[in-house]
């Protein structure tokens, strides 16, 4: 495939939704696969929805997930600026071209007049109350007013918008790479505003102009933009750019975990899982929404999980590195049907990725989350992570499950104590603690053979006292491999913990 030029074009209206991250991933995979270019364009023409901090958030989130921008905001490039609010004059020029060619017109209607039109149509029983081919001739615009009046209004600074003049009766065709042929009749399309009264373009005009000027070859975006696509086709035609029109691919929706309806922030909050890649504090309400990162997910696991929400490789393989995804990805294998957002699957991916990471990489998560005052060498942290990595789901689980390596137990599992803290256990543990105090280094192997020697001498089965030993050392009924745990704790600490249990726990 020829190198593509794709863009991720979020609006800085808040935190980047996880669906947006998936859109960015698909764009990125196609760009990498073809040695193409991944562009980040910030679509900030709607000043009323601008949220401070959102752009920085988007940049940070993409970086965390591992998406590298080749051209765009934060990087620069030959088509700069990439922030639409800084490209006003460019849009203005194309709006003028549309006006001059009779494909757009000035509209002077006030909010009240628009409201009155809608009410009139509603009262007359019309199902469609839009500003369109059927209504435009009843309104206050450059198609209905004498030219002198239009000039007078423009010169006197009367507020106006520029609207697209959608053809009356025509079928618009477009080919979507995921959905196939899409046909929409122009009676379904209203005369969309292209330039607003504040002098800013709307999404539609800015998006089409920029995709053309930035030589975008593929527009990969969420399904919610499919209804806008026919309008964009019209704009390409009116601007004389039909031959350069990008290919469209509208991605399937992300559905609630039960598959019923579109996934929303409320669903995620209710079920207690994140929907944003990173923590986000709403600047108005101060409300904190937890991110996947802060909830203990690894970026590569999240990327792998998201890539599978709508796409599949057609094989049984599920674990894909970024390189593997890049090689295997194809837009043809993206489905039309909505993709169920199964958070358990995300957790499964996270477990697989944690298991496959080097102990050295995982040690950083443990060291960063140690309880205050705890000290730990990198070597010890690596050993603990190696021991725990088959047992964790989230990065913070290391610190939680490793707690007993840093603090001796202050409480003991009552169930185990009541069943297992018997004469045999006390005899074995007393002798074992004694044997340990004469050892200098302790390996898992030595811990095991020493214990077996003690139990053999006393004629007590090792299996019968293991739970008592575990509870003496960790306080808990279950946990990671006991012999390796003792190796990490070291002989003096193990002996001290056994002695403390022997002096505190009542015998059964
Ligand atoms: N600014 C739009 C958004 O926020 C971009 C849609 C598109 O990719 O065309 O999703």
- pLDDT by residue (tens digit) across 255-281? 999 999 999 999 999 999 999 999 999
- pLDDT by residue (tens digit) across 25-60? 999 999 999 999 999 999 999 999 999 999 999 999
Ligand 1 centroid distance, CA of 11 (Å): 7
Indicate which atom in ligand 1 lies nearest the CA of residue 221.
8
CA–CA separation, 324 vs 308, rounded Å?
Answer: 13
Using alpha carbons only, give the angle 102, 106, 107 rounded to the nearest 5 degrees.
Answer: 135
CA–CA separation, 244 vs 423, rounded Å?
Answer: 85
Ligand 1 centroid distance, CA of 6 (Å): 12
**10 Cβ closer than 6 Å to some ligand 1 atom:** yes
Ligand 1 centroid distance, CA of 402 (Å): 44
Ligand 1 centroid distance, CA of 362 (Å): 36
**9 Cβ closer than 6 Å to some ligand 1 atom:** yes
CA–CA separation, 223 vs 183, rounded Å?
Answer: 15
Model confidence at 85, in pLDDT bands (50, 70, 90)?
very high
How distant, in Å, are the alpha carbons of 164, 168, 194, 225 from that of 97?
Answer: 12, 21, 12, 25
pLDDT at position 373 is 85
- pLDDT by residue (tens digit) across 292-308? 999 999 999 999 999 99
Ligand 1 atom 2: residue of nearest CA? 10
- Tokens matching residue 37: 């270019």
**228 Cβ closer than 6 Å to some ligand 1 atom:** no
> In terms of DSSP bridges, do strands 254-255 and 339-340 run parallel, antiparallel, or are they unpaired?
parallel
pLDDT at position 128 is 84
CA–CA separation, 52 vs 395, rounded Å?
Answer: 30
Q: Which domains does the chain have, with CATH numbers?
A: 5-73+205-252 (3.40.50.620), 89-195 (3.90.800.10), 265-356 (1.10.1160.10), 362-504 (1.10.10.350)
Based on the number of CB atoms within 10 Å of its own CB, is 38 exposed (0-12), middle (13-18) or buried (19 or more)?
buried
Residue 374 has pLDDT above 90, yes or no: no
Indicate which atom in ligand 1 lies nearest the CA of residue 207.
9
> In terms of DSSP bridges, do strands 161-164 and 5-8 run parallel, antiparallel, or are they unpaired?
unpaired
Model confidence at 212, in pLDDT bands (50, 70, 90)?
very high
- pLDDT by residue (tens digit) across 315-372? 999 999 999 999 999 999 999 999 999 999 999 999 999 999 999 999 999 999 987 8
Residue 506 has pLDDT above 90, yes or no: no
pTM of the model: 0.94
**43 Cβ closer than 6 Å to some ligand 1 atom:** yes
Residue 7 contacts residue 216 (beta carbons within 8 Å): yes
How distant, in Å, are the alpha carbons of 5, 220, 311, 313 from that of 331?
Answer: 15, 9, 8, 11
**207 Cβ closer than 6 Å to some ligand 1 atom:** yes
**24 Cβ closer than 6 Å to some ligand 1 atom:** no
DSSP category for residue 68: P
Indicate which atom in ligand 1 lies nearest the CA of residue 10.
4
Average pLDDT over residues 113-131: 92
CA–CA separation, 396 vs 350, rounded Å?
Answer: 12
Residue 31 contacts residue 63 (beta carbons within 8 Å): no
Residue 220 contacts residue 192 (beta carbons within 8 Å): no
Mean residue pLDDT across the chain:
96
- What whole-number percentage of the chain has pLDDT above 70? 100
Model confidence at 127, in pLDDT bands (50, 70, 90)?
confident
Q: Known catalytic residue: 265?
A: yes
Q: Which of 12, 16, 225, 250 to mutate to test the pocket of ligand 1 (most atoms within 8 A of CB)?
A: 225
CA–CA separation, 501 vs 196, rounded Å?
Answer: 76
Residue 12 has pLDDT above 90, yes or no: yes
- Tokens matching residue 471: 């509870």
SS3 content of the chain, % helix, strand, coil (to 5): 50, 10, 40
- Tokens matching residue 230: 């026919």
Residues 6+ apart with CB under 8 A from 361: none
Ligand 1 centroid distance, CA of 7 (Å): 10
Ligand 1 centroid distance, CA of 221 (Å): 7
* Side-chain half-sphere CA neighbours of 21 within 13 A: 31
Q: Which residues pair with 180 in a beta bridge?
A: 176
**84 Cβ closer than 6 Å to some ligand 1 atom:** no
pLDDT at position 508 is 78
- Between 371 and 3, whose confidence is greater? 3
Average pLDDT over residues 96-105: 98
Comparing C-alpha atoms, which of 207, 166, 203 is closest to residue 185?
Answer: 166
CA–CA separation, 498 vs 48, rounded Å?
Answer: 66
Ligand 1 atom 3: residue of nearest CA? 10
Model confidence at 113, in pLDDT bands (50, 70, 90)?
very high
How distant, in Å, are the alpha carbons of 289, 316, 420, 424 from that of 477?
Answer: 35, 37, 11, 18
pLDDT at position 294 is 97
CA–CA separation, 499 vs 484, rounded Å?
Answer: 20
pLDDT at position 132 is 95
**218 Cβ closer than 6 Å to some ligand 1 atom:** no
Indicate which atom in ligand 1 lies nearest the CA of residue 211.
9
């Amino acid at each position: 495939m020829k190198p593509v030029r794709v863009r991720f074009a979020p609006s800085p209206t808040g935190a980047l939704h996880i669906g947006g991250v998936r859109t960015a991933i698909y764009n990125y995979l196609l760009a990498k696969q073809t040695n193409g270019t991944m562009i980040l364009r910030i679509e900030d023409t709607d000043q009323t929805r601008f949220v401070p901090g959102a752009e920085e958030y988007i940049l940070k989130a993409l970086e965390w997930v591992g998406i590298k921008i080749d051209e765009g905001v934060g990087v620069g490039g030959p088509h700069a600026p990439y922030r639409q609010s800084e490209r006003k004059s460019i849009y203005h020029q194309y709006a003028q071209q549309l006006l001059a060619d009779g494909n757009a017109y000035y509209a002077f209607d006030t909010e009240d007049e628009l409201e009155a039109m809608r009410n009139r149509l509603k009262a007359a029983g019309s199902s469609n109350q839009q500003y369109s081919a059927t209504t435009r001739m009843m309104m206050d615009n450059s198609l209905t007013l004498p030219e002198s009046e239009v000039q007078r209004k423009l010169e006197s600074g009367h507020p106006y918008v520029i609207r697209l003049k959608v053809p009356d009766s025509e079928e618009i065709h477009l080919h979507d790479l995921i959905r196939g042929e899409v046909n929409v009749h122009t009676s379904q399309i209203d005369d969309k505003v292209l330039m607003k009264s504040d002098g800013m373009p709307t999404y539609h005009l800015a998006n089409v102009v920029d995709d053309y000027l930035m030589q975008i070859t593929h527009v990969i975006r969420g399904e919610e933009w499919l209804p806008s696509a026919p309008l964009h086709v019209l704009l390409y035609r009116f601007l004389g750019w039909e031959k350069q029109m990008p290919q469209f691919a509208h991605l399937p929706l992300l559905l609630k975990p039960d598959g019923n309806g579109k996934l929303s922030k409320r669903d995620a909050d209710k079920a207690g899982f994140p929907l944003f890649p990173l923590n986000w504090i709403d600047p108005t309400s101060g409300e904190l929404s937890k991110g996947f990162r802060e909830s203990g997910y690894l970026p590569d696991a999240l990327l792998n999980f998201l890539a599978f929400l709508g796409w599949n490789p057609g094989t049984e393989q599920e674990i894909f590195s970024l390189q593997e995804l890049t090689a295997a990805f194809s837009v043809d294998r993206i489905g039309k049907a909505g993709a169920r957002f199964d958070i358990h699957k995300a957790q499964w991916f996270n477990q697989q990725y944690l298991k496959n990471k080097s102990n050295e990489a995982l040690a950083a998560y443990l060291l960063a989350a140690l309880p205050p005052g705890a000290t730990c060498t990198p070597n010890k942290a690596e050993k603990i992570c190696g021991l725990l990595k088959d047992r964790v789901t989230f990065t913070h689980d290391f610190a939680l499950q490793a707690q007993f390596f840093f603090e001796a137990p202050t409480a003991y599992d009552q169930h185990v104590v009541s069943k297992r803290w018997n004469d045999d256990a006390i005899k074995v543990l007393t002798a074992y603690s004694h044997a340990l105090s004469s050892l200098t280094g302790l390996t898992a192997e030595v811990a095991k053979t020493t214990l077996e020697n003690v139990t053999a001498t006393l004629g007590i089965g090792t299996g019968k006292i293991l739970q008592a030993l575990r509870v003496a050392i960790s306080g808990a009924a279950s946990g990671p491999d006991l012999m390796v745990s003792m190796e990490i704790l070291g002989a003096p600490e193990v002996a001290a913990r056994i002695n403390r249990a022997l002096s505190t726990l009542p015998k059964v």
